[in-house]
Structure formats: C-alpha cells, structure tokens
Amino acid sequence: MKTSIKFLVGAVLAASALTAIPAQAEESPWVIRVRAVYLDFAQKSDAFTLPTLIGPVAIPADAITINKKTIPDIDVEYFWTKEFSTELVLTYPQTQDVTITVPSLGPVALGSFKHLPPTLTAKWNFMPDSAFRPYVGIGVNLTLISSVNLAVPAVTGVVASPIPLDLSSSSVGFAGQAGFDFKVADHWFLNLDVKYVQLGSDVKAGGATLTKVKLDPWLLGGGVGYRF
C-alpha cells in the first residue's frame, strides 16, 4: 500500500513537472507594440465643378491633397495559436490639412479635419519560434471623421464668401499588412510593419456631394514590442 501511494505521489509529481516545463517555456499570448507610422496618402479625387462669380470652374481629378505625416500608434495582439493572431491598432485623433489646386489660382488651403482610424487584422505568423518572425494579415479599418473645418475661401472677384465644405462621418474599408518582429532580448522585439488601408469620403457643399476622395494610405511603421 505504501509502495502504491509512493508510486502515485511520484507519478503526480512527475506529471506536474512535465506540464509545468512547457508552461514556463511558453510565451504569453499577449503582445503590445508602440510604433512611429508614416502616412502616405493616395491623393485621388474625382473631377468636379466649383461655382464662382466668374462662372463654373472645372476642378480636375486629383486636385485635392491631404498632408502626409508621421503619427504614433499602439497595438495590442493576441495569439490564439502559435501561428494565428489578431491585432488591434489604435492611435488618438489625427489632424490633417487639406489643399485644393484651382486652375489659374494654384494651391488653395481648404482647412483641416480630424480622423480616428482603429484597425483590426487577422495575422498569420510564419516562424513563431525563431528570432525573426515575419507575418501577413488582412482585416478591416474603421475611420471616424470629426472636427471638419473646411471651406473654399473667399477670393476677390472669384468667390464672394467662403463656401463651407463637409465630409462623410466615417469610412469602412479593407486593411492589409505585412511585417516582422525580431527578438532582441527576453520579451522584447523590434518591429517593422507596412499596412495598406482603404479610406474614402464624400466632399459635400450645402448637402450635395461635390466630389469623392480616395485617400487609401500606405502606413509605414517601425517600433518596439513587448511580449508578456
């Protein structure tokens, strides 16, 4: 009996040890990253007609431009398996300046707006146990547009008074990404990441749509990650 008890206790302890070893070696499913991201917009817009004192002025395609800039982002990733994970990318509302190129007048500042672009992707991680860990992902972007302060300014002899402009309040589109993590120490990684996001909006005046813009930015990011 004593021998059986000793054997049972020994088996339980051995089983506990065997299950504990992988748990200690296994990485946490949670990763957090901080990146600097450069926004490079596509700058696509439809041609439209602008009413002025001298008559309708034809505005050519791609006349509306949004400033490119570098922004911070933070992302949280959860690994469901070694290879499959989901990632939520967040930042705070970003201010963008808008310019339009009007024939015979040149570039004209229209004002600014803010956008908040959370992005959720599903990722496949190719080499999860190596120091170099490449991945690809697809998902969806939801951009919320706010604080719209846009208007065609008054121009002597052309526009009598400013023409207020508005934008769609949100945009939903495809998001794709590719990149890699490189392990530099326990828990710590360097990260390079490229994303493509579909982002568009209607530009309106007096409730009527003047033109549609397609910004579709590339997001080029680099930063550090920590795996708990």
- In this structure, the chain runs to a length of 228
User: Which pLDDT belongs to residue 198?
Assistant: 97
Read off the pLDDT band of 54 (50, 70, 90).
low
Burial class (CB within 10 angstroms; exposed 0-12, middle 13-18, buried 19+) of 10: exposed
User: Which pLDDT belongs to residue 21?
Assistant: 36
- Per CATH, the number for 28-227 is 2.40.160.20
Q: Is the pLDDT of residue 34 over 70?
A: yes
pLDDT tens readout for residues 180-189: 999 999 999 9
- Both structure tokens of 33: 């990253």
pLDDT tens readout for residues 69-94: 999 999 999 999 999 999 999 999 99
Q: Is the pLDDT of residue 4 over 50?
A: no
Could you tell me the residue ranges of all domains in the chain?
Answer: 28-227
Share of the chain above pLDDT 70, in %: 85
Q: Is the pLDDT of residue 44 over 60?
A: yes
User: Which pLDDT belongs to residue 2?
Assistant: 44
Angstrom distance (rounded) from CA 73 to CA 89: 7
Angstrom distance (rounded) from CA 93 to CA 36: 15
Q: Is the pLDDT of residue 177 over 70?
A: yes
pLDDT tens readout for residues 140-169: 999 999 999 999 887 766 666 788 999 999
Give the position of tokens 């706010």: 146
User: Which pLDDT belongs to residue 58?
Assistant: 87
- The average confidence (pLDDT) of the chain is 88
Q: Which residues contact 131 (CB under 8 A, 6 or more apart)?
A: 182, 183
Pick 208 or 53 by higher pLDDT: 208
